[in-house]
Amino acid sequence: MDISILCLVYNHEKYIRKALEGFLMQQGNFDYEILIYDDASSDGTVEILKEYKRKYPNRITLVLQKENQYSKGIKGLKLFQKYLYPLAKGKYMAFCEGDDFWIYDKKLQKQYVFMEENPNISLCCHNALIYQKESDTLKLNVQAHPSGYIEDRDVINATKGWYPTASILFRADYIREQPDFCIPTGDEVLRSYMACRGDLYYMNRAWCVYREFSDGGWNTRYFQNKELAKRHFRDIVEYLKAFNVYSKGRFEKYYKQRLFLGIDKYKDAHYGRECSVEALRSCLNDLKNPSEPKVNAVLEEYYLLNAIKCKDYYKVTIEEQFSGEDEIYIYGAGIEAIKALIELDKYGLAPRGFIISDERNSPTELLGNPVIGLEKFKFDKSKRIWLCLINGRQDVIVTLRNKERCQIVV
């Protein structure tokens, strides 16, 4: 057997026919099987699966649960590992969940030939179209990523967009040797593990459709269930710790950014993209863990870098941080600095000036206030420097923390 198609299904009555037709239309010089796991669906999914099994008895194998295993803590990749991997006969495995579907009949052929010709590749994947139900529109998933090898930073953070589960083809022998990691999401663990077994390759072709926020889908449950979302963040932490040992620290420098992405998602889902400072603090408190000081330090850094994006940041900062006796200097001279100036004026406060990193080709004053280059600024403990910039914020924080006699307001 050349390829085993593995499909995880739960209450996908609305979608499963589309997925099955995408599997069955595949053409090429390879043989394949379809293994479908249903986690005790309560709608009409199982009846549809049995219908297709009758039509294609030698092509389709069904694993039908009577009790839902996800609710017992067996989920995602764990379900594949326990129920489908032992049945798979293929040299390669391909994933597609029951609410997604393939749209190109040579998808597997293209990937199969490529993997056969490139034994150094452990996993290949491709682009996808994302279907957004609310707007009934399609958009391209991965942006600005030409076909080619996947870099280590994108193995962990996928900075150009996440590689969809329905796009993946990988070597089956490797997956059977995968350690028993904590699994936040199956595709993330699979991708990073496979990067330790060979090269990863991306094909910039949209050969499948991923349904965003489908009924019962992962994103839908994540946005609806706050406890599930918090648990998912903790699972990411546990996975990164274990994987760091397995990979001997190869990807460690990208972990902080991965946690930042996890915080972003949790905040957007449960507190909103444009939340208040109080909401942001509550969000980060949700994710704190007394036994994880390194993670808590990342959460604190996230606050320093992102509080300025909150809708009431300037108001809250002035009320909490400043009095009429303070000698205030605003670091920055862009739109954020102007926002700070306007808000200070509402409280009858005025800055002594603006500080900028590089004074070359810059004005000597801004709205009647002097503009001072960082190298010429005279630091002392009586002066309070308010960081009012977004771009380059982290670098400025590091620079000012290295200065003696410096009071920083972030």
Residue ending a domain, choose from 309, 325, 356: 309
Residue 220 lies in a domain: no
Q: Are residues 133 and 199 in the same domain?
A: yes
Q: Are residues 35 and 171 in the same domain?
A: yes
DSSP structure class, residue 150: P
Q: Are residues 298 and 390 in the same domain?
A: no
Q: Can you give the residue range of the structural domain that contains 181? A: 3-212
Strands (E), 80-237: 92-95, 101-102, 121-132, 137-140, 148-149, 169-171, 199-212
Q: Are residues 158 and 300 in the same domain?
A: no
Q: Are residues 7 and 150 in the same domain?
A: yes
What pLDDT tens digit does each residue of the chain (410 aa) get?
999 999 999 999 999 999 999 999 999 999 999 999 999 999 999 999 999 999 999 999 999 999 888 777 777 777 878 889 999 999 999 999 999 999 999 999 999 999 999 999 999 999 999 988 777 888 888 888 899 999 999 999 988 878 889 999 999 999 888 888 777 666 888 999 999 999 999 999 999 999 876 666 667 788 889 998 999 999 999 999 999 999 999 999 999 999 999 999 999 999 999 999 999 999 999 999 999 999 999 999 999 999 999 999 999 999 999 988 899 999 999 999 999 999 999 999 999 999 998 877 677 888 888 999 888 889 888 899 999 999 999 999 999 988 877 899 99
Q: Are residues 236 and 202 in the same domain?
A: no
Q: Are residues 190 and 297 in the same domain?
A: no
Residue ending a domain, choose from 280, 309, 338: 309
CA distance 133 to 10: 19
Residue 90 lies in a domain: yes
CA distance 122 to 346: 60
Q: Are residues 146 and 236 in the same domain?
A: no
Question: What does pTM read for this prediction?
Answer: 0.86
Residue ending a domain, choose from 186, 212, 238: 212
DSSP structure class, residue 72: G
Strands 327-331 and 383-387: parallel
The residues near 293 (Cβ < 8 Å, ≥ 6 apart) are none
- Which of 260, 272, 265, 150 is CA-nearest to residue 200? 150
3-state secondary structure of 399: helix
Residue 16 lies in a domain: yes
Residue 334 lies in a domain: yes
Q: Are residues 154 and 243 in the same domain?
A: no
Number of independent structural domains in the chain = 3
Q: Are residues 278 and 346 in the same domain?
A: no
Strands 137-140 and 121-132: antiparallel
